[in-house]
């Protein structure tokens, strides 16, 4: 893996803190009007994205073309003026760099080969240079963003990434990976440790290239029992956060353990994340009551309320804003924006959030 120096990365951002509402919020400063970005804000609901993808071909070709990936990252900023730009990439870049082959079939979703059913990494040849185009994309975006916009990087959390590595594809219940974790915890632990190490280097590489905050996506965290959640979600994410603290002090980390539900308070305290992303199933009033005081939160409008629009959208926005009026809050969805979401619904969401004040 390409790495930066072992000395801490200089991420002194004092001049940017007041000028960047999203970055300031992640550092614990409550804003009168919450900053906004949306998961999957660069994607198929945008006509400009569909046109560029048709020109470039498949997803992987697009994501590894720095000029094109930078353009995609910037498209929603140009159209909507979001407070954050999220790097256009995929969580499976890490296993691709670890030596699995990655393909995106039309209508099939991503595939990784060979599937690591036994958890063994011995047959893979690491290919860290596969991440170089991602860093190049970050540099391009960082140079082009408006001064007030925060650049967000990301990676998949180890548990979620491992579910794809073991099964070779996504699954509804992660049965193959959960079974391996029970049957051979040592082998699975070795796989998790390897993913943790590559993920740390990958996020440090993103930070060195210009990202100002990162998000850890744990899309399948909700499939685990409490004990397994502690071992395969909390512990690996805590290790990543601790390493980033040491090597990139000042880099905010957003943890997004989708489906964690009642385990969210323990996750927040044990991992040490700077902010916690909430999925749409979480009652925002409950989250505000049980999460550590002052911890920034992100979320959590149901993406289907955005798809529906109208009164349902307005009510959903107001409920989230009202629940988090007393703490630092980044307005976002509870998961990614759907591909059939009308652009004017996004415009309506932004207008409603930006018309909000904490005294409403």
pLDDT tens, residue by residue, 108-152: 789 999 999 887 888 899 999 999 999 999 999 999 999 999 999
Mean pLDDT, residues 55-66 taken together: 91
pTM (predicted TM-score): 0.93
Q: Does the active-site annotation cover 348? A: no
Measured in degrees and rounded to the nearest 5, phi and psi for residue 29 equal -95, 115
Residue 309 lies in a domain: yes
Domain with 282, as residue range(s), is 14-354
Domains: count for the chain: 1
Q: Please say whether the beta carbons of 187 and 162 come within 8 A.
A: no
In this structure, what CATH number is given to the domain that contains residue 304? Answer: 3.20.20.210
3 has pLDDT over 50: no
pLDDT tens digits along 13-36? 444 444 899 999 999 999 999 999
CB half-sphere exposure, 48, CA atoms < 13 A: 15
Q: How many other CB atoms sit within 10 Å of the CB of residue 130?
A: 17
Residue 165 lies in a domain: yes
Task: Give CA separation, 276 vs 21, 26, 31, 206, in Å.
Answer: 17, 10, 17, 20
278 has pLDDT over 70: yes
Joined together, the tokens standing for residue 325 give 């009026």
Mean pLDDT, residues 209-233 taken together: 96
Options 40, 111, 178, 247, the catalytic residue? 40
Considering only residues 128 and 56, tell me which one the structure prediction assigns the higher pLDDT.
128
Q: Does the active-site annotation cover 269? A: no
pLDDT at residue number 16: 42
Joined together, the tokens standing for residue 335 give 């998961």
Residue 242 lies in a domain: yes
Q: How far apart are CA 317 and CA 265, in angstroms?
A: 23
Residue 66 lies in a domain: yes
Options 45, 49, 135, 164, the catalytic residue? 164
Average pLDDT, the chain: 93
Nearest to 236 by CA among 278, 200, 184: 200
Options 49, 65, 83, 90, the catalytic residue? 90
In this prediction, what percent of the chain has a pLDDT beyond 90? 86
When mean pLDDT is compared across 13-17, 230-234, 257-261, 312-316, the lowest value belongs to 13-17
What is the rounded end-to-end Cα distance, in angstroms, of the chain? 49
Q: Does the active-site annotation cover 139? A: no
Q: Quick one: DSSP state of residue 262?
A: G
Measured over the CA atoms of residue 171, residue 176, residue 180 and residue 182, the dihedral's sign is: positive
Residue 26 lies in a domain: yes
Burial class, 14, CB count within 10 angstroms (exposed 0-12 / middle 13-18 / buried 19+): exposed
- Residues for the chain: how many in total? 360
Residue 7 lies in a domain: no
Task: Give CA separation, 157 vs 30, 125, 217, in Å.
Answer: 27, 22, 5
Q: Strand 109-113 to strand 101-105: parallel, antiparallel, or no bridges (unpaired)?
A: antiparallel
Options 27, 30, 44, 325, the catalytic residue? 44
Q: Does the active-site annotation cover 90? A: yes
- pLDDT band per the 50, 70, 90 thresholds, residue 68: very high
Residue 20 lies in a domain: yes
Helix boundaries (H) for the chain = 14-17, 21-26, 47-56, 59-63, 66-80, 93-98, 132-144, 158-167, 175-183, 185-209, 226-229, 235-247, 264-271, 284-290, 303-308, 310-323, 343-354
Q: Does the active-site annotation cover 344? A: no
- pLDDT band per the 50, 70, 90 thresholds, residue 11: low
Options 27, 30, 53, 245, the catalytic residue? 53
Spatial CB neighbours of 285, under 8 Å, sequence gap ≥ 6: 323
Residue 6 lies in a domain: no
Task: Give CA separation, 40 vs 17, 33, 121, in Å.
Answer: 25, 22, 31
């Amino acid at each position: 893996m390409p790495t930066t120096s072992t000395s801490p990365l200089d991420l002194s951002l004092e001049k940017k803190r007041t000028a960047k509402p999203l970055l300031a919020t992640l550092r614990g400063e409550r804003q009168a009007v919450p900053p906004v970005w949306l998961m999957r804000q660069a994607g198929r609901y945008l006509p400009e994205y569909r046109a560029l993808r048709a020109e470039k071909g498949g997803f992987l070709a697009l994501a590894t073309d720095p000029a094109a990936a930078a353009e995609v990252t910037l498209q929603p900023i140009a159209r909507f003026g979001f407070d954050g730009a999220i790097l256009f990439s995929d969580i499976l870049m890490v296993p691709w760099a670890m030596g699995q082959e990655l393909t995106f079939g039309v209508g099939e979703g991503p595939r990784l080969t060979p599937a690591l059913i036994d958890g063994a990494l011995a047959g893979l040849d690491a290919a860290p240079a596969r991440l170089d185009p991602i860093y190049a994309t970050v540099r391009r975006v960082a140079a082009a963003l408006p001064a007030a916009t925060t650049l967000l990087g990301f990676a998949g959390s180890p548990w979620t990434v491992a579910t794809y590595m073991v099964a070779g594809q996504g699954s509804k219940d992660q049965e193959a990976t959960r079974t391996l974790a029970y049957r051979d915890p040592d082998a699975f632990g070795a796989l998790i440790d390897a993913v943790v190490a590559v993920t740390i280097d990958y996020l440090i590489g993103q930070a060195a290239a210009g990202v100002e905050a990162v998000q850890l996506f744990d899309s399948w965290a909700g499939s685990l029992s409490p004990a397994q959640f502690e071992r395969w979600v909390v512990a690996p994410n805590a290790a990543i956060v601790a390493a980033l603290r040491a090597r990139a002090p000042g880099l905010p980390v957003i943890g997004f353990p989708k489906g964690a539900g009642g385990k969210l308070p323990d996750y927040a305290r044990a991992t040490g994340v700077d902010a916690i992303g909430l999925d749409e199933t979480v009652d925002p009033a409950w989250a505000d009551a049980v999460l550590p005081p002052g911890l920034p939160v992100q979320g959590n409008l149901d993406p289907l309320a955005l798809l529906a629009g109208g009164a349902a959208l307005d009510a959903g926005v107001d409920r989230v804003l009202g629940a988090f009026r007393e703490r630092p809050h980044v307005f976002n969805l509870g998961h990614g924006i759907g591909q059939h979401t009308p652009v004017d619904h996004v415009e309506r969401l932004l207008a409603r959030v930006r018309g909000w004040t904490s005294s409403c």
